[in-house]
Chain A
Amino acid sequence: MMKKISLILLFVALMSVSCKKLNDYKTYEVTVKVVFPESGASAPSEGITVNLTSVSSGTEYTAETDAGGAAKFEVPVGVFRASASTSNLDNGIKKLYNGNVSNIIVSSKEQETSDYSIDFTESQVSQIVISELYIGGCPKDNASGSYYYDKYMKLYNNSDDVANLTNLCIGMAMPYNANSTNKYIIDGKLSYESEGWIPAGQGFFYIPSLTIEPWKSVVIAFNNANDNTITYSKSVDLSDASYYVTYDPSVYTNTVLHPAPSANIPVSHYFSAYAYGAGNAWPLSFTSPALFVFSTKNSTPAAFAADPNNLSYYGGSTTQVCKKVPVDWVYDGVEIFRQGYSTNKNRLTSAVDAGDILFKAKLGYSVYRNVDKDATEAIVSNKGKLVYSYAYGTGDITDGSTDPSGIDAEASIANGAKIVYMDTNNSSSDFHQRLQASLRDGK
């Protein structure tokens, strides 16, 4: 009997000792504050998740910032590292804020400070990219020449978020053709590179708002938004009701270059125009344009067009007039060079496009963006949906090129895949010359 009671007493004594030990360590308060760059924050300071990681134990603590951007932690002694990131999606541009701070020391001694700050650095990625530019025209039937009024562009949402674009504009740089003498080049450099703008020649098109779903594209026709294949069998059908068209007959009255679009296309899909150069049509080159897509940001297309101080007279001409588009307004641009000419020169500055893609007109070719193989294969849902053995490259033709990823983007998209296109702001690595316009695939 006595033996049993002593065992129970020993057990209880043991238990009470262990319990006492669990409630014995001390925690200290650490405040980590996020600091946005001087240029301002376009993301709220509140609600940002801050991660505090112990260097020694690897334990992670998380807290959210309050309205002042400060996240409070209660942590034991140790050395920690903090990091935070947030992003803001506005009008097609995703601003990414990243930052970290290390050597956060928490000890039992009195600290000088328990407030630490993470300095965010800002970077931006455009949600939308030009995934295809078909401007070279195609051969007419019976070899009587070439037809160039079937030009179109595909604008693609290269992200997982819906792209809500406001004041979307389309412009082209001067000179129209890459091989022409470039009057902006002074002493071997583009005169506007150091001033941070690119020229939009003769006029630009704009639409107040445009929505593109994630991983989807919209087609924008430049000239004849009708079924061109009725007369020119090698051309494309641009009469679909979901397509857009650059059409403003009150400004550009040339009914040959800008004929009335198909009645299927609603008026809400028309891009309107502001013209400031000479001519009754928008003269997009069919051999080698430098096309770009931008937004007037905190201004409006009307105010931008009305401002006489942003005019640039190309080579001093009063008929070839450009508007100065600030580089940070630009979503994306493509620099197309003309095959067979040694005098091609860049018109888009390296901030927009540091390279070029060689193109041959009149054969039905188009310029198509390369697939980012790693990023696309990394998307889990793409497994089994990607189509390889890409057959539309022109790599085996003189001066041609093909998609190094080998992925047939259009066929994969038709399969339900989410394609991530390459976007390094360099047409030399981002684009290839495609054997036919993608709208002709499967026809």
Chain B
Amino acid sequence: MAVIKCNNFELWATADENGKFSFAKVPAGVREFTISSLGYATVTVKLNVDKDITNYAVYMDVADLSLKEVTVTAEKNKASNTTQYTIDKAAIEQSQLTNISDVLTLLPGGQSIHDPKLTKTDKNIGKFQIRAASSFGTAVEVDGVRLSTNSDYTEGQTGADTRNIGTSNVESVNVISGVASVEYGDLSSGIVVINTQKGASPLKVDFTYNPNTKQVSLSKGVRVGKGGVLNFNYDRARSVASLMSPYTKYTRNALTLTYSNTFARKSSSPLRFEAGIGGNIGGRNQKSDPDAYSDTYSKAKNNNIRGHFKFNWLVNGKFITNAELKGSVNYSYKRTTDKSYKSSATALAAVHGTEEGYFVATDYDTDPNAAVSLIPPGYWYQTCYNDDKPMNGSASLKINSVKEFSNKIRNHFKLGVEYSFSGNYGKGIYYKDPQTIPDGWREYRYKDVPFYHTLAPYAEESVSLPLGSTVLGLTAGIRGSYTHMNGSEYGNISAYSPRFNLTYRIVNDNNNSFLKYLNIKGGIGKSVKLPSSGVLYPRPYYTDELTFAPGALADGTSYYAYYIRPATMLYNPDLKWQYTLKKEIGIDMKIKNVKISLVYFDNKTFNRYSTTTGYDPFAYNFTDQSNLESCTIPLENRKYNVDRNTGIVTVIDKTGVQQSEILSYTTRETFKKNSYCINEAPSTRKGLEWVVDFGKIKSLQTSFRLDGIYYRYKYMDKKMSAGMPGNALYMADGSPYRYVGFYSGDRDVSNGQLKKQFNANATIITHIPQLRLIVSLRVESSLYSATRNLSTIGSGTRAYVLDSREDYLPSTTISDLKDHYAAVYPDYYVSYDDLTTKIPFLPKLKWAKNNDPALYAELCKLVVKSNTSYYLNTNRISPYFSANIDITKEIGRHFSISFYANNFLNNMNKVKQTWNHTKYTLYQSSQIPLYYYGLTLRIKI
């Protein structure tokens, strides 16, 4: 079932089972049409529509390797008014991906991922990262269903895990890394739009094999009823972490069903309907490994169900050209189970209380709900569950109105509104046996966190102005977003994202022998990334301070007491929403047979979310065995009562014979920590992306392509933050530390980083249509990689040079930080006894060295020193390369076989790093892909 689009006019038509299609109203003029059909090569034609056209026939070729042109790389989307790349089926099949997020390696300068195993637990596995930016800012959409992680507790502040999407079902992937249309929101680096197969197709069975992963998939598109098509796809993948001990595996069983049909096809206002349902059952499982203790395991289920529907109505009216209504729901069931075997010779104190105060440990049998419980000594199994059930959904209505005026000025007005919500139905972390719940656990049910609702209206105006033979396109849009979360102290959040794009098509003439096209594109736009629910509705955290430790009874039981202090991230009334301002300018041209594309980008992220700590004075009363030595009540008759407010311990004689005794105590003065979310100074990511495609050398049937990226990323933390020594939190006399330092940036030697990276790839593709064979050889290189930890603050000095590692005062002779140890001092410090007087640190430290050795010793603990003499040096890594080869061969009409080998030269060379003037080997290093290979067999029936 083919889909025909009239480009730039938002007009579409679908062909019936006989291939017949019609457009009721096409504005007169030379119009471009794109015809696409599943399994066939897309055709673009230009037609001069000056009268009604009937019997126009388009011939479509089967999309296979016998075509003259096959694209196995990411293609820059020329028609788009922003930087957009399309990766189509042939490219996905040629690279034989088992995980769809790996598709970004085909973008300019993209480097193959290090380890394709699906079992890895790295934070960024299966996540999209556009231009090496954070995955949390990259949005992912599958058939219009947004995969959001705002309410996902397992993922944390990272993007969506795409390991549960069947790769065989993907028809194409569009990556928008430029200034996206206002239609897309809640993102910062870009959006990845994944389109699955729709349309009638033969039964396809694929088998993929690589040393750790085996995958099988089935897909078919059947015609249903009159004009309807049902696409079915089942994808099963099984990945094992280690071949020697195949007990940790990741499984994917993804099933997708999509139904599409067009109603009133022949009328002037056809209605296209699409509905789909899909899901996955699988996850990570560490089945009973014979090397692990009997019946202990770890399982992480990753089940998912999603559904969507879409109505696309070609209104063809006076004001509205077409309208789209869509809705989607995505529900995941992620449940992690960890079963382990524990034992202890002493009773373990397990603090579970959520209220503030002093609490003494109580046997579970006496009070199951005690704030401090005691796990009795012995052996037991502990089963821990993490019940995470995130759900998100959206509904949107979009209206397009396209009109061309007599002077060939075309106007496209887009108006829409999107509603989305996200929340979680999970129970959170809980344990099977309430008596043995470990220390520190408090109930936190994800389902108690309110849902997150966002309403986003948007409007966009695009004008296309012909100027002589050139065309100037201008787009201006604005998107508003209003977010509400019940009970959030931040109330209702509103933000605006205006975006502008300019496209200047200077030459667009395929007949010109020298310059076939020349386009200049530029854009500037703002996109707001909403904070995760952890910021809007902070989770309480608890500090438990040990305040009483009596000697143990014969069975190893000791009735400890703790001071429990609950806290939540404090509300910051000045918190602003993080947004990215993207600026891009690019040029696309085709000179003779050579396609050149250059994009300069400048993304600046403002109001970066960060957390900082504040310290408040806090005193507690501490009692230990030395205070008990004078107690006359026999050990076995003692019962301890701890006053909730003062912590004073009273020893009671259980037999009632002796009088209760109140114990003495010592008061310890320390600080309690409070954290809150703040906005940090902006970070910038600027760079240049290029693609030079030399076209096919016909005699060799080979084309040659160069692509690459150079980017420069920098961030600096500037806020003044409080800090205390990381360890040695004691004064010389053993009492808690009494000073708090205030550091510019953070309590760290470096407060920023500068990273420059230059990646260049060369791809040689040999495509022989007669043999139906395509071989692509890709050499990936990192030609320049420099990272530098920065320590600067305005115009002053932040990091001081030390003569040697043992020193605390700055060097008086050396001033060059290179190859020297560095120290960072607080700007000022305060003392527990006087929190308002800010004492400048460095002058006081210098004075104390000669005048007050005791104070000098204490202040030295606030000095932050670098671990090495090269920490602030620039680390330049010498260039390195790796090469991949992909081969696909079609056999007959039904079979196709693909082979790939990543890093097939198994690069074991050494690279130099200037940081500490050492060399290390690339073998098994994370910088180049592991030496890996795989085979895929495809059968089409």
Chain A interfacial positions (CB closer than 8 Å to B):
140-142, 144-145, 147, 149-150, 224, 226-228, 230-232, 235, 239, 249-251, 253, 255-256, 259-267, 270, 272, 274-279, 302, 305-309, 311-313, 315-319, 321
Contacts and interface: CB of A to CB of B under 8 A. Distances in A.
Contact of A230 (B348, B377, B808, B821): B377
B52 interface: no
B625 A267 contact: yes
Interface residues of B, number: 52
Given A263-B552, A277-B727, A318-B865, A147 B734 contact: no
Nearest to B293: A144
A164 to B, nearest CB: 23
Interface string B543-558: 0001001111111101
B117 to A, nearest CB: 29
Interface in B546-590: 546, 549-556, 558, 560
Contacts of B732: 302, 305-306
Interface stretch (B398-406, B853-861, B890-898): B853-861
Given A224-B556, A227-B554, A255-B560, A308 B734 contact: no
Contacts of B668: 250
Contact of B550 (A253, A260, A277, A315): A260
Contacts of A256: 344, 348
B191 interface: no
A315 B379 contact: no
Contacts of B727: 275-279, 318-319, 321
B552 A226 contact: yes
B857 A230 contact: no
B866 A316 contact: yes
A197 to B, nearest CB: 13
B552 A251 contact: no
Given A231-B379, A255-B558, A308-B861, 17 more contacts: A142-B379, A144-B343, A147-B345, A150-B345, A227-B554, A227-B555, A230-B556, A232-B343, A255-B560, A260-B346, A263-B635, A264-B551, A276-B728, A306-B732, A308-B808, A316-B821, A321-B727
Interface in B276-313: 293
Given A316-B866, A316-B868, A231 B546 contact: no
A298 to B, nearest CB: 17
Interface string B667-681: 010000000000000
A228 B560 CA distance: 19
14 contacts: A141-B379, A224-B346, A231-B379, A235-B345, A239-B552, A250-B734, A255-B348, A261-B551, A262-B554, A275-B727, A279-B727, A318-B864, A319-B726, A319-B727
A320 to B, nearest CB: 9
B310 to A, nearest CB: 55
Contacts of B553: 262-263
Contact of B733 (A142, A302, A313): A302
Contact of B728 (A144, A145, A266, A275): A275
Given A260-B549, A272-B734, A315-B867, A321 B728 contact: yes
Nearest to A263: B551
B833 interface: no
A278 B726 contact: yes
Interface of B: 293, 341, 343-346, 348-349, 377-379, 546, 549-556, 558, 560, 622, 624-626, 628-629, 635, 668, 726-728, 730, 732-734, 805-806, 808, 821, 854, 856-857, 860-861, 864-869
A239 B343 contact: no
A263 B635 CA distance: 8
A235 B867 CA distance: 40
A285 B624 CA distance: 27
Contacts of A231: 343-345, 377-379, 556
Q: Point out which of B343, B377, B552, B856 has the most chain A C-beta atoms below 10 A from its C-beta.
A: B552
A191 B550 CA distance: 43
B845 to A, nearest CB: 11
A226 B808 contact: no
B549 A232 contact: no
A250 B624 contact: yes
A274 to B, nearest CB: 7
A261 B346 CA distance: 10
Contacts of B558: 255, 259-260
B887 to A, nearest CB: 44
Contacts of B857: 306-308
B379 A262 contact: no
B327 to A, nearest CB: 52
Nearest to B344: A231
